[in-house]
Amino acid sequence: MKRIYTILLVVSTLFFFACQQEENLLGGATGYLRLTVNEDMSTNSRAVPENYKPEQIAVQIVNAEGETVKETEDWELWGGKQIELPVGKYTIKASSNGFDGKDAGFDIPYYTGSKEVTITANGEANETIICKLANVKVTVNFDPALIAKVRSVAATVDNDEVPNDGTPAVYSLAFDTEETRSGYFPVTKLFASITVVNKDGDSHSMRKELTDAEGNPVKACDHFILNIKEADAETGNKTISVTVDPTTHEYSYTFNVSTVPTNKSTAGAWSNVAYLQAELGTDASAEGAKFQYRETTNTASRANEIPWIDVTTTVENGKCTAMVTGLSASTTYEYRLVSKDKEVLVEAQTFTTTEAETEEKQEALQNGGFEDWCVRSAKTALSNKDTTFPCSGTDYDAGNLYWDTSNRGANSTGQLDPTNKIESPIISGTYAARLESKLINAVIIKAFAAASLYTGSFGGASLDMSATINFGRPFTSRPIALHGYYQYNPKNVDNVGENLPANATVSEGKPDQCAIYIALSKKTYTVNNKQESTFIDFEGDDNIIAYGTIEGDYVTESEAKNGYTEFTIPLQYKESQFGETPSYIIIVCSASKYGDYFTGGTGSTLYLDDFSLVYEGTPAIWKNK
């Protein structure tokens, strides 16, 4: 029931009544109205008083000349009093006290009303002023069933247009599931934005201007109720329905938001290939799904004339992948995912291939044939012995050491040089690399030294036989494989160090194993052979873009043609980083796979020759990495 508050003013014989409210001000009302302040009481202020009471009605009596002749901050102070006024015409203004209603906030309704009266000689006037809500009320209701099914849901109501009077004001209130209060806004264009994040982290959003049933902007005394609930199969993902009660000016909007995971897709492109991925939501059937692609055009009218090209697609556990080959460099393509019935599961997106990878851009390995060697005096913490290096003397003197070995660490008691050149057997050129694991056996030092060859530099050695190695040389190309020749003559393991991994594939008395691997990375690595925490995690480290190995495999000399076995190690590019460009190349060869753990067979020998990088062909993919 509406409650009427009456202000009694006795002006000679004048009586008037103020402020019938359309909401209960003193009863159990929540407070939906906003204030205003007359010109004599800071009308430009936007600050809401700390103890603001919307039901405290201020009154002004203004004469015909616009002068305020009487005023009070609380009409109840005039209750039962006689106020004498000269004969004439007056405007009685009533409004919530202390605030002008020019801001948005929770629980700050603003009421106002006015009435013209005429005072006559010896006359008596009885008037009633009706105070109504002068701003716009917004209530947001979140469906509990929706809240239970999503990670978060929230609404924002704002005015994204600058008012015509030039004041730099944008009104905005955020509603979350814990907010039960109603918001109040000045009369201006209002927009509601709804965002829901489902359990899978997918975000769904919608935005709508709040209007009446005829599409007109908001008016004073309007009450907009926003009901946010989950969409169903009938209403769709982004349906907004509106019902209007014209008797109360209440406009009830229902926002149906989707909680279904969004189908996601990504593409990584090289100059002539692209790798496509898509993850389908639980409501989508992946069976028979396939990617399609086509070259984009700047002419919208021709877009439908360019046919889509189907791509062989692999579907596993709702994830679709495909490798597109034969693309043109520096070209933009669009791609999409469709069902077996040609329904679009993932809307068209684009990718752009990189510049053509010419031979000039296909970096080659320096000294990949291992023809260049030199001997130099290399001082370490353990010795000052002559050491063999896999580079020319000119490159060494210039600091251009592309490949390195652990010779400096092993040469503590003499020039052992586990890694050195050999003239025969030969695939091409004059020399090959010979890696022989050796035992350092001196009075104060006894340790197993696995022969190694790698792109990087030897960091240093200590008396406890620990050594550091810096892996990686600058490199920005994208080969698909490492090609070369090797021969391996293993010995039985006769040295077993401490902390050998439980999953090690060698044991004492069993044949040793070699290791050859390649990686492309975004950083260099410094590894200490006595600190396992420094070892490279090729699978789990996101700085590793691609990786390939033949570790553990070997062929004895009697089984190898001309003493060597030809090998090709495919580089497997991680799905998550396909399309990224590396910064460094890491190639590591060891005559004893577990040499980092001082484990292997004394005399195990690995021969290497004619290493080169392969650029032609389709890259391999490291699934789910």
Among 620, 373, 596, smallest CA distance to 520 is for 620
Please tell me the distance from the alpha carbon of residue 432 to that of residue 608, in angstroms, as a whole number: 6
Among 548, 544, 547, smallest CA distance to 577 is for 544
C-alpha distances in Å from residue 88, one per residue of 11, 61, 85, 158: 12, 12, 8, 45
Please tell me the distance from the alpha carbon of residue 301 to that of residue 299, in angstroms, as a whole number: 5
Strands (E), 233-303: 240-245, 250-257, 264-269, 274-279, 290-295
Please tell me the distance from the alpha carbon of residue 182 to that of residue 195, in angstroms, as a whole number: 19
Q: How confident is the model at residue 44 (pLDDT cuts 50, 70, 90)?
A: very low
Say whether pLDDT at 246 is over 70: no
Among 531, 509, 486, smallest CA distance to 602 is for 509
Strands (E), 508-604: 515-521, 525-528, 544-549, 565-570, 572-574, 584-590
φ/ψ (deg, to 5) at 579: 105, -20
Q: How many CB atoms lie within 10 A of CB 397?
A: 11
> For residue 127, what is the enclosing H or E element?
strand 126-129
pLDDT attached to residue 275: 97
For every residue of 206-242, DSSP letters joined together read EEEE---TTSPPP-TT-EEEEEEEE--TTT-SS-EEE
Tokens 């209960």 sit on residue: 24
The predicted-structure confidence for 300-313, as pLDDT tens digits, reads as follows: 556 667 899 999 99
* Beta strands at 605-614 and 544-549: parallel, antiparallel or unpaired: unpaired
Q: What one-character DSSP code corresponds to residue 597?
A: G
- Across the range 106-112, mean pLDDT stands at 89
Task: Express as a percent the part of the chain with pLDDT over 70.
Answer: 77
Among 395, 506, 515, smallest CA distance to 451 is for 515
pLDDT attached to residue 301: 53
* Beta strands at 9-10 and 81-82: parallel, antiparallel or unpaired: parallel
pLDDT attached to residue 43: 28
Tell which wins on pLDDT, 128 or 146.
146
Lowest mean pLDDT segment, chosen from 83-92, 279-288, 289-298: 279-288
> For residue 113, what is the enclosing H or E element?
strand 111-119
Q: How confident is the model at residue 99 (pLDDT cuts 50, 70, 90)?
A: confident
Q: What one-character DSSP code corresponds to residue 160?
A: -
The predicted-structure confidence for 413-462, as pLDDT tens digits, reads as follows: 677 889 999 987 777 889 999 999 998 775 556 778 899 999 999 988 77
Three-state DSSP class for 533?
helix
* Beta strands at 88-96 and 111-119: parallel, antiparallel or unpaired: antiparallel
Q: Is the peptide bond before 425 cis (omega within 30 degrees of 0)?
A: yes
Three-state DSSP class for 129?
strand
Tell which wins on pLDDT, 492 or 2.
492
